[in-house]
Structure 1
Amino acid sequence: MATTTGPAPVKPARVRGPAQDVAGLGVGRALGFMAPALLLIGAFLVFPAVWTIYIGITNYRLTGIEAVSPKIVGLENYAKALNDALFHNALWLTFLFVLGSAIIGQNILGFTLAWIMRRARPAVRRTVEALVLLAWILPSTVVAYLWIAFFDRDTGTLNSVLGTTGTAWLIEYPMICLILFNTWRGTAFSMMLYSSALQAVPPSQLETARMVGASGWQTLRDVVFPHIRGHVLTNTLLISLWTANDFSPFLLTKGGPNHESETVPVYIYNVALTGGELGYSSAISFLLLLANLLVALLYLRLLRRRS
């Protein structure tokens, strides 16, 4: 007896996930395209970083027996750094340098210029922006020479203006000079970032604040800053890290006089090339890297919380 069967059951269509290889290159070809970039990153970033960490646990020196056959000393260099008064002094001066010239100086001056220039005539705004950018793009050696001439003891511009001929500013007030120098040098980035950020502030809210009689500070506090808070944190993070690792102070004072302007990057240079202690200087470099990472993580956490 023949039996009738219905149509074969239709299998449900398999739901495909997102394509793993949109371009259709395959893993081999994709790695082939990435290989040159990976090689460059490995050669100029990863290998130097690993080599620095390795040197930091040795007694490697610039000259002598240790230059030929260095020995592993473990954490001895790090213990030495934690008990080194000159390193503590360099940390403190770096903190003052970052606080004075980046967090306060460049932030405030950059925002002030951006706030003022938003209503200036186009010709005036372009002129001011060009002058500020010029200070940022000039080579460090040229800028350092200009500021050495500005602070010169005998024929310096500052002494001529103030009538204080004979005052050796770079010797008597080295950190103040470095803070002024770096504020002038790095304000351009903060000004450009804040100029872009201020465009996100709704003009209607600014107009409303003006109509209700809000003062300039109240407008900034209640209307402007809530819109640009993320930009402020981002700018502060970037300029803080750049300033903490800036080597330009060496061009003006070389860390002198008597270590009074010796920030950590300058101290590392002096320890490595003047003192010849490459292992010790590498350990300090790694500590500076860790400090940069901690600061970056702190800022990122604050930025995420604000968002």
Structure 2
Amino acid sequence: MSTPVDLTPAAESTVDTPSRRGRIADVAGLGVGRAVAFVLPALALIALFLVFPALWTLYIGITDYQLTGPAAANPQVIGIGNFLTALGDTLFRNSLWLTVLFVLGSAVIGQNLLGFGLAWLLRGARPWLRRLTESLVLLAWILPSTVVAFLWFAVLDRDGGTLNLLLGTEGTAWLVRYPLISIILFNIWRGTAFSMLLYSSALAAVPPSQLETAKLVGASGWQTVRDVVFPHIRGHVLTNTLLISLWTANDFTPFLLTAGGPNHASETLPVFIYRQALEGGQLGYASAISLLLLVANLVVAGLYLRLLRRRS
């Protein structure tokens, strides 16, 4: 004979039912309707400003859509034609290679090393010196891009530029002779603040006892960083490298310095997309290249996640 289930309030509180699980999940007590009402405005903004532009770009990328002319009024679907054109375009391949060099030089190597170096040197600095250095580095990061570009024009100008006055090389057009190196140094100077702040926070979590032990056994600075510090901040290094790489690959600011010139010598992919879309009027072609850049970003992000999972 089966035992009857006690449905008293005390017994009911121990029975796992769908309604009870729902009440436990709804810890705020809003209910489904109110919860949806709170989330709906955010979802609408995401759909309007992220999902719809992405889908529209995908559609334009498979058409011959142009800024003016018959194709602007009646674009035709051409499938993967724009992507095949990009793969055979020497200017696109040039921009892709320059973007790789720009990201490696200014973000992966430049900002990473300089940001960590500043964070490491400022650990034991006097408080006033640390605050002053951090403020100056942060100032370069928070200033508007147009202001920063104007300052670098003043430094690299052919006639009366600060760098020419310091080196005694008056008349040297740095932005013309060394355009890629110029925008790499410009981006290192402008973006190092983020890496410095992130590594400063990461180094604060390294146990001081381990640093003291390494010092007592006679480890050099490089050995301390390699064997003691890096194992603790490896995740921060991966996160910082991912973020600054994606930001740099999609950065349009170099256009303010060189406009992609001279003769496409500093035309990174964002600048190339802008010139194809607005100067050349090839909106469909520019959208296809934007999708290729998006795929490259996803590949980099996927590689980062794989490395992070391997670390964990």
TM-score interval for Structure 1 and Structure 2 normalised by the shorter chain: over 0.9
Pick from 278, 283, 302 the counterpart of residue 278 of structure 1: 283
Pick from 204, 208, 218 the counterpart of residue 209 of structure 2: 204
Q: Does 1:167 align with 2:172?
A: yes
Q: Any unmatched runs of 5+ in structure 1?
A: 1-5
| Match of residue 74 from structure 1 | 79
Q: Does 1:63 align with 2:64?
A: no
Q: What amino acid is aligned across from residue 141 of structure 2 in structure 1?
A: W
| Match of residue 233 from structure 2 | 228
Q: What amino acid is aligned across from residue 14 of structure 1 in structure 2?
A: V
Pick from 254, 269, 274 the counterpart of residue 269 of structure 1: 274
* Aligned-residue offset at 1:134: 0.3
CA distance in 2, matches of 1:90, 1:72: 26
| Match of residue 3 from structure 1 | none
CA distance in 2, matches of 1:291, 1:27: 39
Q: What amino acid is aligned across from residue 256 of structure 1 in structure 2?
A: G
Q: What amino acid is aligned across from residue 263 of structure 2 in structure 1?
A: N
TM-score (norm 2): 0.94
CA distance in 2, matches of 1:245, 1:159: 31
Q: Does 1:260 align with 2:265?
A: yes
| Match of residue 16 from structure 2 | 15
Q: Does 1:45 align with 2:46?
A: no
| Match of residue 301 from structure 1 | 306
Q: Any unmatched runs of 5+ in structure 2?
A: none
SS at match of 2:65: coil
CA distance in 2, matches of 1:8, 1:110: 70
SS at match of 1:201: coil
Q: Please list the CA deviations of residues 183-214 of structure 1 after superposition, one character each: whole Å capped at 9, or x if unmatched.
A: 00000000000000001100000000001111
Q: Does 1:132 align with 2:137?
A: yes
CA distance 1:161–1:7, shift in 2 (3 Å): closer
* Aligned-residue offset at 1:7: 11
| Equivalences for residues 243-258 of structure 1 within 5 A | 243-258=248-263
Q: Please list the CA deviations of residues 136-192 of structure 1 after superposition, one character each: whole Å capped at 9, or x if unmatched.
A: 000000000110111111111111111111111000000000100000000000000
Of 10-19 and 53-62, deviating more is: 10-19
* Aligned-residue offset at 1:29: 1.7
CA distance in 1, matches of 2:47, 2:2: 61
Pick from 27, 33, 37 the counterpart of residue 28 of structure 1: 33
Q: What amino acid is aligned across from residue 57 of structure 2 in structure 1?
A: T
Q: What amino acid is aligned across from residue 66 of structure 1 in structure 2?
A: A
Q: Please list the CA deviations of residues 283-307 of structure 1 after superposition, one character each: whole Å capped at 9, or x if unmatched.
A: 0001100100110010111011112
Pick from 182, 187, 193 the counterpart of residue 188 of structure 1: 193
Q: Please list the CA deviations of residues 246-291 of structure 1 after superposition, one character each: whole Å capped at 9, or x if unmatched.
A: 0001000000000000000000000001100000000000110010
SS at match of 1:188: helix
Q: Please list the CA deviations of residues 82-139 of structure 1 after superposition, one character each: whole Å capped at 9, or x if unmatched.
A: 1111000000000000000000000000000000111001100000000000000000
SS at match of 1:283: helix
CA distance in 2, matches of 1:278, 1:31: 37
CA distance in 2, matches of 1:57, 1:106: 37
Q: Please list the CA deviations of residues 26-66 of structure 1 after superposition, one character each: whole Å capped at 9, or x if unmatched.
A: 22221111111111111111111110001101111011111
| Match of residue 245 from structure 2 | 240
Identity across aligned pairs (percent)?
A: 72
CA distance in 2, matches of 1:162, 1:260: 24
Q: Does 1:156 align with 2:185?
A: no
Q: What amino acid is aligned across from residue 45 of structure 1 in structure 2?
A: L
CA distance in 1, matches of 2:272, 2:293: 11
SS at match of 2:25: coil
Q: Aligned Cα RMSD in Å?
A: 1.5
